[in-house]
Structure 1
Amino acid sequence: MTLLVGCDFSSSPTSRKQIVLALGAIQGGRIQLSKLERLASLDAFSAWLQQPQGWVGGFDLPFGLPRELVETLGWPLQWEACMRHYAQMSRAEIRAQFAAFCDARPVGGKFAHRKTDGPAGSSPSMKWVNPPVAYMLHAGVPRLLDAGVYLPGLQPPPQDSSRVALEAYPGLLAREVLGARSYKSDDKAKQTPERLIARKDLVHALEMGQTRWGLRLKLSHAQRDALVGDASGDALDAVLCLVQAAWAWQQHQQGAPLYGLPEDLDPLEGWIVGA
């Protein structure tokens, strides 16, 4: 049975704001959540990645930068070389170069976008604030590379492709169920009854298979309470990524070589699974 993983990632995890992993598998046609695991540091994340067990995972962080940005900055146009170059920079250097890029562009078009951002509704992967996805890429992708994990569409398949990482985005499924309703906030003052109800509705929809893929999530009462009760939405976001990983695994079982990613994706930018 293939282990499936959903990861709600943080570029600066702490004991208060941890990386959350949702672990599960498909059993009897449903996604069975086995447990939630929390990691309080990037070193703990690296250690988890380097364990020998196989898995297919959906990770909530961008795996690539916009081609337009990379070309303008004169960085390597081959994905792994680009990521190695990016990993060597400090966050201050990233912010300075990206801000200069934006400053040179007209109002309303400051950021460069990847092709996947449109259909996914995702933030540009070069954003360094609200949310700081550029730093998430900087913290996460080099660790995936160092652990020898396979990233379909961005790398040729290795001899050992037992650990497979896909770029996921929880907002993709959440918006499908909730529309524009918000279901989470890290700000205690914004952890409202309306957001609690939205989380209940989202969990119910996942259990009923009320998304485009019809995959049903199987939860215990305690797991359901934990997902609904986490007002930050981190646990629920990890589970949404788990659902995306499960769909990707199904696509691969049915013969899709790139786990449901489009075969003509830009191999520098990458693609969000399901977009």
Structure 2
Amino acid sequence: MTLLVGCDFSSTPTRRKPIVLALGQAAAGRVQLLRLEKLPTLEAFGAWLREPQPWIGGFDVPFGLPRELVEHLGWPTEWRECMRHYASLTRPQIRETFAAYTAARPAGSKFAHRRFDKLAGSSPSMKWVNPPVAYMLHAAVPLLLEAGVHLPGLHEGDPRRVALEAYPGLLARELVGRRSYKSDEKAKQTADRLIARKDLITALEQGRTRLGLRVKLTHAQRDALVEDASGDSLDAVLCMVQAAWAAQHGAPRYGLPDDLDPLEGWIVSAE
């Protein structure tokens, strides 16, 4: 049975704020969480990716930049070459380049978007703060490439290790609307957010998303997801559910649209 992976990623992981992996299996419309793994460094994440075990994973990381931005900057428009160029830049260079781009744009349309951003409600992948997804892309995609994994629609790699761009907010909004269920700030880890996490977990267990998959948790796992006020563990589980949906669709597209932009990519399960 193929291992399912959901990844809540951090571009600067630490022991207090690690990269979280939710590992599971699916059968008969149920997705069972096997365990959570926490990786405190990018090196540990890269080592995990290189392990030869087969998996299908949903990663909460943008896999591409907006075509509009790439063309404006004169960067390569072939995905692998674009990512190679992007990886050669430092984070300050990325910030300066993107800040100059936004400074020249009119109010209300400062950022370039990928085609599906508004459909999925995702942040533009060129954003370097709140959340710093541009740095997440910069940290994660080179490690995925170095590990030789397969990125459907973007890059041919090992077909036994399949990485897809996921977005936990896509399913979370479907289940609890705009209610906030997480915060990294202690002062904002409120009772309302705790209740929202409980409601979100219950909805996942009941299979209330349009994906039609029910999550199976032990009592201890449920408690752990509730108690993680940062929401990182729960976000990893949401990504795992998206990976399970992709696994149902299978190769070669894993549910991705036939007309996805091979430079921008696509968030798995986004309509």
Fold similarity call, TM over 0.5: yes
Unaligned runs of 5+ in 1: none
CA distance in 1, matches of 2:152, 2:77: 17
Runs (4+) of structure 1 exceeding 3 A deviation are none
Map of 1:29 onto structure 2: 29
Deviation at 1:213, TM superposition (A): 1.2
Map of 1:108 onto structure 2: 108
Map of 1:269 onto structure 2: 264
Q: Which amino acid aligns with 1:66?
A: P
Contact 2:29 2:212 in 1 (8 A): no
Deviation at 1:128, TM superposition (A): 0.1
TM-score (norm 1): 0.97
CA distance in 2, matches of 1:88, 1:210: 43
Alpha-carbon deviations, 1:21-68, whole Å to 9, x = none? 000011343101000000000000000000010100000000000000
Map of 2:88 onto structure 1: 88
Map of 1:56 onto structure 2: 56
Contact 2:122 2:167 in 1 (8 A): yes
- For residue 216 of structure 1, the aligned residue among 211, 214, 217 is 214
CA distance in 1, matches of 2:267, 2:195: 28
Unaligned runs of 5+ in 2: none
SS at 2:140's partner residue?
helix
Aligned length: 270
CA distance in 2, matches of 1:27, 1:76: 42
2:6 paired with 1:6 = yes
CA distance in 2, matches of 1:118, 1:243: 21
Alpha-carbon deviations, 1:216-274, whole Å to 9, x = none? 0000000000001100000000000000000000011xxx6210010100000000001
Identical pairs, percent: 73
Q: Which amino acid aligns with 1:119?
A: L
CA distance in 2, matches of 1:75, 1:232: 36
Map of 1:189 onto structure 2: 187
2:230 paired with 1:235 = no
SS at 2:25's partner residue?
strand
CA distance in 2, matches of 1:65, 1:122: 13
